A and B are shown apart, each in its own frame.
Chain A
Amino acid sequence: MGLVGLCLLLWILTPHFLTVANALNVMEQTSINAIVAVGMTYVIISGGIDLSVGSLLALSGVVLAAALKAGWPAALAIAAGLGVGAATGLINGLVIAFGRLPPFIMTLGMMSVARGAALLATDGRPVSGFESGFRSIATGRVLGVPAPIVLTLAIYAIAHFVLSRTRFGRYAYGIGGNEEATRLSGVNVRFHKTMVYVVSGLTSAIAAVLLTARLNTAQPIAGIMYELDAIAAVVIGGTSLSGGDGHLGGTLIGALTMGVLRNGLNLLGVSSFLQQLVIGVVIIVAVLVDVMVKEKRA
């Protein structure tokens, strides 16, 4: 509802907002945050948090870029990038589930480890210049719709199915809602908890592929503060930070809301400083409204 209201408002305020080109533009820009937010939704539903997504994105991106530069075929290089993301997510998950480290601490540490690894691997320099075949992931079109939008929708469709229709998805809710009860009912909590972080690592790596193709560059300093954008999209989408409750449709709307807001403020020529302020207020108000609506229902 908030998103529709926001769009209406921007439509009234600026003639440039409701154009075809701009609509595609906003969705394309939203896709990276939206994809990172998929994994974040899983993690938050399971009662955790993943602060390392931005760094994982950078690390996966530079590995992918290095593989492409070494002459690997695009498919193999992408697999390598995704593999690194999933593997780093696996380390997060294993330490959290088996080492009983709070997710906040583990992923905070990993945020620095992965960033450091990305900087070390590249000597701090961006890696750039890829073939147009690889770049078509970001620049191509499917039936007139930019490829990043199609990719985002496909990921949401799959991730939604997994979250709502499979055991893994149900267990994620269970772990976030009441971990002890879930464990007592015979669920392998540790395994499923670990997998949640693998999903998050994987979606960060998918976002890395998209970002690398889009900028024609992989930067070791990419993705700084993306964790906060992703968390914001998740909570604007109505997922509870205390776990056990939430859904991906909300996250997509949350990510779109942030994208529309940034786009609209650019179109209106609002000062960059004011933009930050407005985005912060919108996050607070969105969650506040969500909490009040839920309380009324209960």
Chain B
Amino acid sequence: MRNPQRQTQKPRNPQRNIFSACSAGSALFVVIAVIAGCNRGGDGTASSAKPRVALVLKTLNSPFFNDMQRGAQAAASRLDVDLVVQAAEREIDVERQMQIIENLLQTNVKALCLTPSGSREVVPAVAKANRANIPVVIVDTRLDGKAAEEAGVKIVSFIGSDNYEGGRIAARFIVDATKGKANVAVLEGIPGHETGDSRLRGFRDGIKETPGIKIVASQPANWERDQGFNVFQNMLQAHPELDTLFACNDMMALGAVEAIRAAGKTGSIRVVGFDAVEDARKAIQEGTMLASVAQFPDEMGRLAVENAVHAIKGEPITADAKVRIELITKENVK
């Protein structure tokens, strides 16, 4: 056996090239870092005439957040502020949401409105906004109380619906509609999300006093339509006795509606969703869904921008603004 090292095929790139390119790359990294270290805090750009408000959403491909954006935009043009709306590609991508916030803090935004992708994960980003003295308005999903307290972060206002109460409303409706006897499946949101957890808690508390209502299956489908389909299809396999579904949002409910259709069980399973998005309203009209708890995301968007403007001007703000909720059924759907 000859010396293996001499026999080994050499890299096609000459060694010198690799080295120089590599050092060029690191050098660039170092140079930027050093320049950065020398003159920190040099953002001396003049602010434009209109104050800039950032609205960072969980996602832009959900009707709920589209409505919120619309409400915010309407308020922004009325109050003459420059609104920047951004969101991560995927709703669960907290790291990306944090990056977006960090990036927007570099521009001269005067206030930040935020729907947290994760109640705890986004706390460090809010801390950064605090340090930059930019008022933060949290919308829809609360920050985790403990995490926020530990990090010492401050927000000027929270705007959202009472999700716990929404869960109770759905529960009461199911109790009435089934005359107190039902085998219920529950589709949960992403575990650990304050919004979904509150709805779930409200729902469970709402049926507690009616022993005839049994939760036979409860699984997360992560807020998504396709997962709602799959998870509910599996539930139907495992529990043919199911006659009622409560989904913590409409996307999962609508996915389940398709699963029910595929199983040929349309009409025999009551579906109650949450959010009353447009597709869900259509489904209620068609009768494939029974009801949905309506939130008013456009109102949340409006209040968020209004409160942000109050904060910029140093005017008093409601620290905790509850947006109304309402049960939508065939009687009041439009």
Which residues of the other chain, B, contact A267 by a CB distance below 8 angstroms?
Answer: 103-104, 106-107
Q: List 28 A-B contacts (CB under 8 A).
A: A3-B28, A16-B43, A20-B38, A25-B103, A29-B99, A32-B95, A124-B191, A128-B120, A145-B33, A157-B26, A164-B22, A173-B12, A174-B8, A187-B4, A217-B118, A244-B11, A244-B12, A249-B26, A250-B21, A250-B22, A252-B22, A256-B29, A266-B100, A266-B103, A267-B106, A267-B107, A275-B89, A276-B89
B15 within 8 A of A: yes
Contact B42 A245 (CB under 8 A): no
**Number of A residues with CB within 8 Å of any CB on chain B:** 76
Instruction: Please name the residue on chain B nearest to A130 by beta carbon.
Output: B150
A143 within 8 A of B: yes
Which residues of the other chain, A, contact B88 by a CB distance below 8 angstroms?
Answer: 272
Least CB distance from B200 to A in Å reads 13
Instruction: Please name the residue on chain A nearest to B124 by beta carbon.
Output: A216
**Number of B residues with CB within 8 Å of any CB on chain A:** 70
B13 within 8 A of A: yes
Which residues of the other chain, A, contact B12 by a CB distance below 8 angstroms?
Answer: 173, 177, 244-245
Contact B4 A262 (CB under 8 A): no
Instruction: Please name the residue on chain B nearest to A275 by beta carbon.
Output: B89
Which residues of the other chain, B, contact A156 by a CB distance below 8 angstroms?
Answer: 22, 25-26
Provide the bound-state CA to CA distance between A124 and B196, in Å: 14
Contact A252 B29 (CB under 8 A): yes
Which residues of the other chain, A, contact B95 by a CB distance below 8 angstroms?
Answer: 32, 211, 214-215, 222
Contact B13 A245 (CB under 8 A): yes
Contact B118 A126 (CB under 8 A): yes
Contact A170 B37 (CB under 8 A): no
A27 within 8 A of B: yes
B35 within 8 A of A: yes
Which residues of the other chain, B, contact A157 by a CB distance below 8 angstroms?
Answer: 26
| Bitwise interface map of B from 3 to 42 toward A, beta carbon under 8 Å scored 1, else 0 | 0110111111101011101111110111011011111111
Instruction: Please name the residue on chain A nearest to B27 by beta carbon.
Output: A249
Q: What 4 A-B pairs come out closest when comparing CB atoms? A: A249-B22, A185-B7, A249-B25, A266-B103
Least CB distance from B330 to A in Å reads 35
Least CB distance from A205 to B in Å reads 16
- Which of B10, B41, B123 contacts A20 (CB under 8 A)? B41
Provide the bound-state CA to CA distance between A177 and B120, in Å: 46
SS of A interface (majority):
helix
Provide the bound-state CA to CA distance between A167 and B113, in Å: 53
A2 within 8 A of B: no
A100 within 8 A of B: no
Least CB distance from B102 to A in Å reads 5
| Bitwise interface map of A from 9 to 22 toward B, beta carbon under 8 Å scored 1, else 0 | 00000111001111
Instruction: Please name the residue on chain B nearest to A126 by beta carbon.
Output: B192
Contact B121 A253 (CB under 8 A): no
Contact A266 B121 (CB under 8 A): no
A203 within 8 A of B: no
B137 within 8 A of A: no
Least CB distance from B42 to A in Å reads 5
Which residues of the other chain, B, contact A160 by a CB distance below 8 angstroms?
Answer: 22, 26
B87 within 8 A of A: yes
Contact B23 A249 (CB under 8 A): yes
Which residues of the other chain, B, contact A149 by a CB distance below 8 angstroms?
Answer: 29, 33
- Which of B25, B41, B102, B144 contacts A25 (CB under 8 A)? B102
In this complex, the member of B2, B21, B23, B123 whose beta carbon has the largest number of chain A beta carbons within 10 angstroms is B21
- Which of A143, A266, A276 contacts B37 (CB under 8 A)? A143
- Which of A27, A244, A252 contacts B25 (CB under 8 A)? A252
> Can you name 6 extra interface pairs (CB under 8 A) apart from A20-B37, A20-B42, A139-B124?
A14-B107, A153-B30, A173-B12, A244-B12, A247-B17, A250-B25
Provide the bound-state CA to CA distance between A116 and B8, in Å: 40
Which residues of the other chain, B, contact A177 by a CB distance below 8 angstroms?
Answer: 9, 11-12
Least CB distance from B218 to A in Å reads 12
Least CB distance from A8 to B in Å reads 13
B151 within 8 A of A: yes
Residues of chain A from 231 to 283 with CB closer than 8 A to chain B in the complex: 238, 244-250, 252-253, 256, 262-263, 266-267, 269, 271-273, 275-276
Contact A25 B106 (CB under 8 A): yes
In this complex, the member of A126, A139, A157, A173 whose beta carbon has the largest number of chain B beta carbons within 10 angstroms is A126
A123 within 8 A of B: yes
Which residues of the other chain, B, contact A167 by a CB distance below 8 angstroms?
Answer: 5
Which residues of the other chain, A, contact B201 by a CB distance below 8 angstroms?
Answer: none
B227 within 8 A of A: no
Provide the bound-state CA to CA distance between A177 and B7, in Å: 13
Provide the bound-state CA to CA distance between A185 and B41, in Å: 57
Least CB distance from B214 to A in Å reads 23
Least CB distance from B192 to A in Å reads 4
Contact B7 A124 (CB under 8 A): no
A144 within 8 A of B: yes
- Which of B22, B36, B60, B120 contacts A273 (CB under 8 A)? B60
Contact A23 B32 (CB under 8 A): yes
Instruction: Please name the residue on chain A nearest to B220 by beta carbon.
Output: A124
Least CB distance from A176 to B in Å reads 9
In this complex, the member of B28, B35, B39, B106 whose beta carbon has the largest number of chain A beta carbons within 10 angstroms is B106
B90 within 8 A of A: yes
Provide the bound-state CA to CA distance between A248 and B25, in Å: 9
